[in-house]
Amino acid sequence: MYIPKDDRYEKMPYNRCGKSGLKLSAVSLGLWQNFGYKDNFANMENMVHRAFDLGITHFDLANNYGNPYNGSAEENFGKILDRGMREFRDQLCISTKAGYDMWEGPYGDKNGSRKYLTASLDQSLKRMGLEYVDIFYHHVFDPDTPLEETALALDNAVRQGKALYVGISNYNKAQTGEIMKIFKELKTPFIVNQPSYSMLNRWIETDGLRDFAYEQGIGLAVFSPLYQGLLTNRYLNGIPEDSRIGKGNTWIKNELNEQLLGKLRALNKFAASRDQSLAQLALSWVLREGKVTTVLIGASRPEQIEDNVQAAYKSDFTPEELSIIESILR
């Protein structure tokens, strides 16, 4: 029987998601990797339990997580809930997404249609054994579906009691602004955008999304903050066989050149001066200035979660420290 730690809420910061009343743990656990059909269930369960013990309340999924068996991450999370965590449902913020290819035929491919989104959410709730999710996202902008249709489908999920809030993912500033106008007319509780963001991937700054979301009261839950593991100490001295690049499970192998390695080693040295690991520094940097609500981490073992959570306690930087980081990243 799982019994969570009594002190789990004492250290983790909880940030208000935009202008909504919902607070999210500064660090959230994403179940994109290592929660699929072929992964070790005991390890998955240990990671979820350890995350909750450390104050992580937000668990982020999607209909297609668990590759090559779409939906298996949600199924496994449902099993974890059944084995002792379901009684803590009201202490959890559970999100899922739909938008990428999910099932065969024209109604399950990459899209934002009302039919696809409605069917997908029903499937997700069944897999996890839930009556509702806290946040339901459209996973990726669909240029072939009118934004009004996508917005109405998300709004309908709330009105049916299947989601409490809605969000979008992988939408740029302009796309966010367009759908935001529709949500305002519908009075939909639209509270969050989920983009990629890291020291090595700063598109939400150049696009203007980061500042726009902050000004408009939209939360940001960012993924890939460690840039597929490059912003860790894993690759500082070569490519381990058991790493994502070593296994061929990532698209960034060609980016790991000597120039980038020089930056990573300099960042690692600077992190040590702050008594942080490179990963902790990268996560703390994402949370700087309070414009990001929560940073979504992935993990392959509980110890990684323990290490990454420390970043939430040290997200303040002096102007001099930020200047040093910028000089390294140039």
Per-residue pLDDT, 204: 98
Query: What pLDDT score does 242 carry?
Result: 57
Q: How confident is the model over 259-270, as pLDDT tens digits?
A: 999 999 999 999
Closest among 107, 104, 103 to 145, alpha carbons compared: 107
Residue ranges of domains in the chain, CATH in brackets: 14-229+281-315 (3.20.20.100)
How far apart (Å, rounded) are the C-alpha atoms in residues 263 and 266? 5
Q: What is the pTM (predicted TM-score) of this model? A: 0.94
**In the prediction, which pLDDT does 237 show?**
77
The mean per-residue pLDDT over the stretch 301-317 comes to: 97
Q: Other CB atoms closer than 10 Å to residue 235's CB: what's the count?
A: 21
- What local confidence, expressed as pLDDT, does residue 129 receive? 98
Residues 6+ apart with CB under 8 A from 298: 29, 30, 32, 33, 34
Q: What is the pLDDT of residue 25?
A: 98
Place of tokens 């934004």: 147
Give the residue carrying structure tokens 């990573």: 264
Q: What is the DSSP string of 130-164?
A: -S-EEEEEE-S--TTS-HHHHHHHHHHHHHTTSEE
Per-residue pLDDT reduced to its tens digit, 192-237? 999 999 999 999 999 999 999 999 999 999 999 999 889 999 888 7
The answer, yes or no, to whether residue 243 has pLDDT greater than 60, is no
